[in-house]
Amino acid sequence: MLIIGIAGGTGCGKTTVVNQIIHELPEDEVGVISQDSYYKDTSHLSYEERTKINFDHPKSIDFDLLFKHLTALKEGKTIEQPVYSFVKHNRTGDFILTHPRKVMIVEGILILTHPEVRDLFDIKIFVHADSDERLIRRIKRDITERGRDVEEVLTRYQTTLKPMHQQFIEPTKEFADIIIPNNRYNTVAVDIVKTIINQRISL
């Protein structure tokens, strides 16, 4: 199994890169795991308490479960990937049955911050985008998909997203095997990754 980790700041275009990579691969040979599924269970907290959690800090991620699940997939086992609600700021209690594939892509802003999880990745990718571009994408996404207003998004960006990016996410760029600039449609870097994947699949 080839495990690919794709990191980068919020709104950098990770999902676009993931889709570019998997678009030409056989559907039954590639799977995707999102870091967002592995936010820690917060059922013991009230909704008000959950809204105050810093979800851009590595401590908000259940890396132990993610490591356990990735290890199980490498052993050929099926896992129950949690489902997370950004509206309720908690896991829903539902699961996605995730089967092992020849290629597993793990994407998320913090996935390169955890040494044990990072060591499981055969290829580590960091998607880079201009901070203004990332903010614009974040505003659009949080308003349309997560029911937030502009003031809430901007406040969260200034108080949490930006400082967490500078402290935890940007430094993980040094662990990347490939850095993909995503301010424009980048085909060369993505084609290189596709070539590596296809070589490994055909072995």
> pLDDT, tens digit, for every residue of 101-132?
999 999 999 999 999 999 999 999 999 877 77
pLDDT at 74: 95
With contact defined as beta carbons under 8 Å apart, do 36 and 107 qualify?
Answer: no
Residue 100 has pLDDT above 80, yes or no: yes
Name residue, tokens 């949490």: 160
pLDDT at 28: 85
User: In the prediction, which pLDDT does 185 show?
Assistant: 58
Q: How far is CA 38 from CA 83, 133, 140, in A?
A: 8, 26, 23
Candidates 4, 1, 2, 8; CA nearest to 110 is 8
Classify residue 147 as left (phi > 0), alpha (psi -120 to 50) or beta: left
Do 106 and 3 meet the contact criterion of CB atoms below 8 Å apart? yes
Q: What is the pLDDT of residue 186?
A: 65
CA distance 193 to 124: 10
Instruction: Give CA–CA dist 128/159, Å, rounded.
Output: 21
Give pLDDT tens digits for 23-59.
878 878 899 999 999 999 888 988 888 888 888 899 9
Pairing of strands 79-85, 90-98: antiparallel
In this prediction, residue 135 carries a pLDDT of 75
- Average pLDDT along the chain: 87
CATH architecture of 2-201: 3-Layer(aba) Sandwich (3.40)
Label residue 137 by pLDDT band (50, 70, 90): confident
**Segment 55-64 mean pLDDT:** 93
pLDDT tens readout for residues 68-95 = 999 999 999 999 999 998 788 888 889 9
Rounded to a whole number of angstroms, the CA Rg of the chain reads 17
Are the C-beta atoms of residues 102 and 202 closer than 8 Å to each other?
no
Tens of pLDDT, residue by residue over 139-194, are 887 787 777 778 877 887 778 878 888 899 999 999 999 988 875 556 787 888 88
